[in-house]
Chain A
Amino acid sequence: MNTIVYILLAAGLIFFGGTTLAAFYWAAKTGQFRNLEDGSKTIFDEDEPVGTATDAFADKQADRPLRRGAVSIRS
């Protein structure tokens, strides 16, 4: 068992433990833990709003498969 492996493991431990703590800190600081009710609705939009079941197939997509970059939305 050589020293390099030990150093590698210790570095990994510190790095991954550290990033997890940093992620938690970042989440708290950027308000990820605030307005949780709004957060839960971020997976819905106007087209698939709350109240509409979506295990249905978007038929328009099938008629004409979209190419990457084919949609341009003017601002």
Chain B
Amino acid sequence: MSATLTEAHPSTVTPEMEKAHRALIDESTRLPVVLFYASAVFWLLVGTVFALLASFKMNAPTLLDQWGWMTFGRVRPAHLNAVAYGWAASAGIGTGLWLMARLCRTPLRHSKLLIGAAIFWNIGLLLGTLGILSGDGRSIEWLEFPNYASFMLFVAFGLIAVWAIIMFRFREPGHVYVSQWYLLAAFLWFPWLYSTANLLLNFEPIQGGAQGAVNWWYGHNALGLWFTPLGLATAYYLIPKVLGRPIHSYYLSILGFWSLALFYSWNGMHHLIGGPFPAWLISASVVASVMMFIPVITTAINHHMTVRGNFHALKWSPTLRFTVFGAMCYTLASVQGSFMAIPSLNIITHFTHYTVGHAHLGLYAFFTMIMFGAMYYILPRVVGWEWPSARLIRWHFWLVAIGIGMMVVVLTIGGILQGLALLDPNITFMATLDYTKPWLFLRSVSGVLLTAGHIVFAVSFTLLLLKVGSLRTAPTLFGSDQGRQPEPLNV
């Protein structure tokens, strides 16, 4: 009689059985995870092309403007949606599916739901991107996709939410690990956020200023209640797992989750400081934004203290290097965000490139880097094939790490100069733009570095999926090609 691992008597479970069970779980996630990951990499490249174009247009405004569909007003939202929904969300879903199966300690069931979701997802992205380029886009930030595309995305989100509930219902008994709380929150809350915002803004639009409030309620929650939980769930699993060391303070991690759930949804209105909105609405949001220090600091302490003493592991583990980079940037981006909500600082940074730098610090330096780390860990286990080359991974890391670091720094400096100039009544608006020019040029340079990094990653990814080369039994670690052995870990 066959039985699941947990039904077996504990004394009869051997490490070999656990290994086989884990391999079975990983294997069961193969098709959905690879589908979402492959879509993610495809849309990353598409989004990068739009990003480069939009950035170059800041240096040369007439570039390609003979075609309406290549103008800034369309290329820029095409970039945002392709990277946010195409890359970041697809990568997050792929990672989330694998984590759900591992944390439920059961093979993935009903993969047809997920394959259906992936199909709807990609059709929606394609229709949406083409819609934006052809002039069908809505001028609502984060929700530019026309209704026929956003409906497809909603169906995909809905299927994934239903799947997540079924997985959780049929999990093996035992403790619910902190990552799973984050995943359930993301998978269940996001379809609601997405549908509510689309309903109120695109399908049955409400009137006047209230649109702004709904817009930023959604825009900020998409970051905080969708991308943030997916990224943190991944970090809370991978950092302890790679190091073989439990989270420093599990108590703090649970506190972090529930305080995020409590405070985050209030945050969006800080985008509207100075706008035509009731003062209490803005004030409550500013207070909640500062309260975000609680979940952020608990997470920062936890991740730092878990890695402490083992920072040398960053030298050999690709997963850890990307994930720890991302986790550190989560703290940076969140603390910066809390400060940006304080009205006396917001008055400088609002409507400047500083905000663009902050957005890339959050969605790229934090979220995207953690997703790269997760892919380096998950794909070999799911596909049964190792990454082709440590050198490619190393190039990938340094190109994107330097690229994103440079982008955030130059946009921050350029944004502050721009903000101060905008506040100076002696400087004309046209003259304020001159302050940004050198920084925008450097931003394009950083964009080229990121693009190169993405191409390297896409090559590496494709070689792995095609199983090019001979089968290796050792993991692809940094330094392994120089014959160095990893140093022992402190536990």
Contact with B12, one of A23, A43, A58, A75 (Cβ below 8 angstroms): A75
Contact with B1, one of A37, A54, A58, A75 (Cβ below 8 angstroms): A75
Known interface pairs A52-B244, A61-B381; A71-B20 also in contact (CB < 8 Å): yes
Which A residues lie within 8 Å of B18 (CB)?
45-48
Known interface pairs A16-B189, A40-B246; A58-B251 also in contact (CB < 8 Å): no
Q: Given the complex of chains A and B, what is the CA–CA distance between A8 and B177 in angstroms?
A: 33
Which B residues lie within 8 Å of A33 (CB)?
254
Whether B27 lies near A74 (C-beta < 8 A) is no
Closest B residue to A53 using CB positions: B244
Known interface pairs A16-B192, A59-B473; A67-B246 also in contact (CB < 8 Å): no
Contact with A58, one of B23, B102, B200, B237 (Cβ below 8 angstroms): B23
> Looking at the complex, which of B70-78, B268-276, B313-321, B424-432 is the stretch in contact with chain A?
B313-321
Q: Given the complex of chains A and B, what is the CA–CA distance between A45 and B16 in angstroms?
A: 11
B15 within 8 A of A: yes
Interface residues in B, total, Cβ within 8 A: 80
Known interface pairs A12-B192, A75-B3; A53-B242 also in contact (CB < 8 Å): yes
Question: Nearest Cβ distance between residue B201 and chain A, in whole angstroms?
Answer: 12
Whether B244 lies near A43 (C-beta < 8 A) is no
Interface bits A48-66 vs B (CB < 8 Å: 1, else 0): 1111111111111111011
Per the 8 Å Cβ criterion, residues 9-66 of B in contact with A are: 9, 12-24, 26-28
Per the 8 Å Cβ criterion, residues 170-189 of B in contact with A are: 174-178, 184, 188-189
Tell me if A's interface is mostly helix, strand, loop or mixed: loop
Contact with A55, one of B7, B23, B318, B472 (Cβ below 8 angstroms): B318
Whether B241 lies near A75 (C-beta < 8 A) is no
Residue among A40, A55, A74 with max Cβ neighbours from chain B (10 Å) = A55
B477 within 8 A of A: yes
Whether A43 lies near B2 (C-beta < 8 A) is no
Per the 8 Å Cβ criterion, residues 14-40 of A in contact with B are: 16, 19-20, 23-24, 27, 32-33, 35-40
B112 within 8 A of A: no
Contact with B381, one of A23, A44, A49, A58 (Cβ below 8 angstroms): A58
Interface size class of A (residues with CB under 8 A): 35 or more
Q: Given the complex of chains A and B, what is the CA–CA distance between A66 and B26 in angstroms?
A: 10
Whether A48 lies near B16 (C-beta < 8 A) is no
B196 within 8 A of A: yes
Contact with B16, one of A24, A47, A53 (Cβ below 8 angstroms): A47
Tell me if B's interface is mostly helix, strand, loop or mixed: helix
Whether A39 lies near B177 (C-beta < 8 A) is yes
Contact with B244, one of A5, A50, A58, A72 (Cβ below 8 angstroms): A50
Which B residues lie within 8 Å of A40 (CB)?
240, 246-247, 250, 253
Known interface pairs A1-B206, A12-B192; A55-B319 also in contact (CB < 8 Å): yes
Whether A55 lies near B21 (C-beta < 8 A) is no
Contact with B196, one of A9, A48, A52, A60 (Cβ below 8 angstroms): A9
Q: Given the complex of chains A and B, what is the CA–CA distance between A20 and B207 in angstroms?
A: 30
Whether B241 lies near A43 (C-beta < 8 A) is yes
Q: Given the complex of chains A and B, what is the CA–CA distance between A32 and B189 in angstroms?
A: 21
Contact with B175, one of A32, A71, A73, A75 (Cβ below 8 angstroms): A32
Question: Nearest Cβ distance between residue B366 and chain A, in whole angstroms?
Answer: 20
Which B residues lie within 8 Å of A41 (CB)?
246
Which A residues lie within 8 Å of B24 (CB)?
66, 68, 70-71
Q: Given the complex of chains A and B, what is the CA–CA distance between A45 and B486 in angstroms?
A: 22
Whether B491 lies near A43 (C-beta < 8 A) is no
Known interface pairs A45-B18, A66-B20, A68-B27; A59-B246 also in contact (CB < 8 Å): no
Known interface pairs A43-B237, A61-B381, A73-B3; A53-B250 also in contact (CB < 8 Å): no
Known interface pairs A1-B206, A51-B489, A55-B319; A9-B254 also in contact (CB < 8 Å): no
Question: Nearest Cβ distance between residue B178 and chain A, in whole angstroms?
Answer: 8
Whether B475 lies near A55 (C-beta < 8 A) is yes
Q: Given the complex of chains A and B, what is the CA–CA distance between A74 and B270 in angstroms?
A: 58
Binding site for B on A (CB under 8 A): 1-2, 5, 8-9, 12, 16, 19-20, 23-24, 27, 32-33, 35-63, 65-68, 70-75
Q: Given A36-B250, A53-B489, A55-B316, 13 more contacts at CB 8 Å?
A: A9-B199, A20-B261, A37-B246, A47-B15, A50-B246, A52-B244, A53-B244, A56-B475, A57-B475, A58-B19, A67-B27, A73-B3, A73-B4
Binding site for A on B (CB under 8 A): 1-5, 7-9, 12-24, 26-28, 102-103, 107, 174-178, 184, 188-189, 192, 195-196, 199-200, 204, 206-207, 237, 240-247, 250-251, 253-254, 258, 261, 313, 316-320, 377, 380-381, 384-386, 471-477, 486, 489, 491
Q: Which 10 A-B pairs have the closest CB atoms?
A: A72-B2, A59-B473, A40-B250, A47-B15, A40-B246, A55-B317, A57-B475, A47-B18, A56-B475, A47-B19
